[in-house]
Structure 1
Amino acid sequence: MKVALAQFCSGIVPQENADRLCQVMSEAAAGGATMLFTPEMTGLLDRDRVRAASAIRDEAHDVVLLVARREAERLGIWVQLGSLAIRASDDPDGKWLNRSYLIDPEGEIAARYDKIHLFDVDLSPSESLRESAAYRGGQQAVVASVPGATLGLSICYDLRFSSLYEALTNAGADILSVPAAFTVPTGKAHWEILLRARAIESGAFVIAAAQDGDHADGRSTYGHSMVVDPWGEILLDLGKGEGLGFCDLDLAKIGEVRSRVPAVANRKEFAQPAKPS
């Protein structure tokens, strides 16, 4: 399978991001990719939640999702739309969804995944980040069939929770998607090592399309979109800057690696330890 990874520097205007996505989808299809992977928050990256509220739409009216579906059908390509900020009409608190989409070559939505692990952290006594203040966390792990493989979906901060990837591979996933918008400090410290760890423990390909650069909302992201094979080898690293990369996945490598190190097959359930008194 030939895949393409788009490394974006998404801004605060969804139509501009949609135009960029349209261009990249054409380039991916022209390059012979079966599937394009895009980063977390492909459609809108804006930490000013008052301003973002005026741009976030429900699924039926999100301009980036509409463009992705239209172009997928026109080009005959799969798209793993890393994530979009989506307005949830059924949330009494008015919270949004950080939702990932798998779109098939007919332009249909083949799978949806809502980010389970939300980034809530105290950076200092005076600064904190609360993703859960604006977003409703997901409750369901998701896998979906793609050509020749089963894809497990996750988003950014999920990467730090190995139990999610255990659940995905137990359900048959042999490719894991990790779209992200890692900050520069955490990206330098943990991005590569966590991606390689998830690939090794799962005996799976990990495909991680990332945001990169200095964004219009003032944040900076790390980049280094990657493809890691089931042995933990890095097949593609896009480094810094917006761009599009291609990688050929030898899907036979999954079975070879899982035969050599059968960690997935050897998993055992066990009783949890009691906390010491």
Structure 2
Amino acid sequence: MADLPVAAIQMRSGVDPEANIRAMTELVRDAASRGARYIQTPEMTGAVQRDRAALQKILRPEAEDPVLEAASSLARELGIHLHIGSTAVEADNGMAANRAVLFGPDGAALAHYDKIHMFDVDLDSGESWRESAVYQPGEVARTVDIGGARVGLAICYDIRFPHLFRDLALMGADIVTAPAAFTRQTGEAHWHVLQRARAIENGAFVISAAQGGTHEDGRETYGHSIIVDPWGRIVAEAEGRDPCVVLARLNIDEVKAARGKIPNLKNARSYRLNDGSKEEAERTG
């Protein structure tokens, strides 16, 4: 499948999972009716809820999660690959997992990915985030075949860690993903350059569905869901922060072409690190 019709779903998830499921369903159906065969939703599709106690009340184990149940049914009904960019599920140790799940056209879960890098930051705006206080970090980088293309899974803050995306590309990913709930402040500063950089560095398509707007819990997210080609060109983008569908047709052959022109993945070399001391450490290129 050299030509792959894809969609990034932009949402403004609130605190009620059932309302978010209805919004997701409407947008996914719209994307599928317009030809998309791979459809991605944003980080925290099921609920954007910054209150830890309130979040705990709606957490369910993956097998009982209503968002994932609805997504499985939608994928099967519409005959699509449906990638839930992430939703919060109950982990084994009393914490949550920020989990992506990609469903195949038969409704079966093809891959799971738990966000590896936790957004623990203090912003200039006064906002403070400590994801590690709520979420258990993932430990496995993952790719999955969707029929003619391989997708590398990542989530939001992961986009700031180039080595993860390089490893996904080395695992054969044609498409790398970073579904997000980027804050407005960080999005205005860095969203576009990070998406384009990861595409250029790895000669891969990047698809990042995003949350956008002011949410019920008071959070502001940047929106601008985006699809970038392996040369770093923006193929399609949401104009702002409102819920919408972003569509594109990807020619997967462009991945091979880009990597042939700039073969940096093959040209990487190991080297040593020296901070001025006599000790040197080996670094894998």
TM-score range normalised by the length of the shorter chain: over 0.9
Distance in 2 (alpha carbons) for counterparts of 1:49 and 1:236: 35
Post-superposition offset of 1:119 = 0.6
Partner of 1:186: 186
Distance in 1 (alpha carbons) for counterparts of 2:276 and 2:109: 44
Post-superposition offset of 1:20 = 1.2
**Structure 1 runs of 4+ with >6 Å offset:** none
1:67 partner amino acid:
A
- Whether 1:135 aligns to 2:135 is yes
* TM-score between the two structures when normalised by the length of structure 1: 0.95
- Whether 1:162 aligns to 2:162 is yes
User: 1:34-53 maps to which residues of 2 (within 5 A)?
Assistant: 34-53=37-56
1:273 partner amino acid:
N
What secondary structure is seen at the aligned counterpart in 2 of 1:179?
coil
Post-superposition offset of 1:166 = 1.0
The structure 2 residue matched to 1:16, chosen from 14, 19, 23, is 19
- Whether 1:266 aligns to 2:267 is yes
Distance in 2 (alpha carbons) for counterparts of 1:127 and 1:198: 26
2:205 partner amino acid:
F
Partner of 1:85: 88
C-alpha change, 1:124 and 1:232, in structure 2 (3 Å) is closer
Distance in 1 (alpha carbons) for counterparts of 2:243 and 2:83: 18
C-alpha change, 1:32 and 1:214, in structure 2 (3 Å) is same
Post-superposition offset of 1:273 = 3.4
- Whether 1:56 aligns to 2:59 is yes
What secondary structure is seen at the aligned counterpart in 1 of 2:111?
strand
Partner of 1:66: 69
Distance in 1 (alpha carbons) for counterparts of 2:106 and 2:140: 25
User: 1:236-255 maps to which residues of 2 (within 5 A)?
Assistant: 236-240=236-240, 241-255=242-256
What secondary structure is seen at the aligned counterpart in 1 of 2:87?
strand
Q: In terms of mean alpha carbon deviation, does 267-276 or 46-55 score higher?
A: 267-276
Distance in 2 (alpha carbons) for counterparts of 1:21 and 1:34: 16
Partner of 1:206: 206
Counting matched residue pairs gives: 274
For structure 1, the residue ranges without an aligned partner over 5 or more in a row are none
Distance in 2 (alpha carbons) for counterparts of 1:10 and 1:269: 44
Post-superposition offset of 1:147 = 2.0
Distance in 2 (alpha carbons) for counterparts of 1:127 and 1:258: 40
1:243 partner amino acid:
C
Percent identity, aligned pairs only?
45
Post-superposition offset of 1:114 = 0.4
1:122 partner amino acid:
D
C-alpha change, 1:49 and 1:196, in structure 2 (3 Å) is same
Partner of 2:281: none
Post-superposition offset of 1:121 = 1.5
Post-superposition offset of 1:126 = 7.7
Distance in 2 (alpha carbons) for counterparts of 1:115 and 1:131: 10
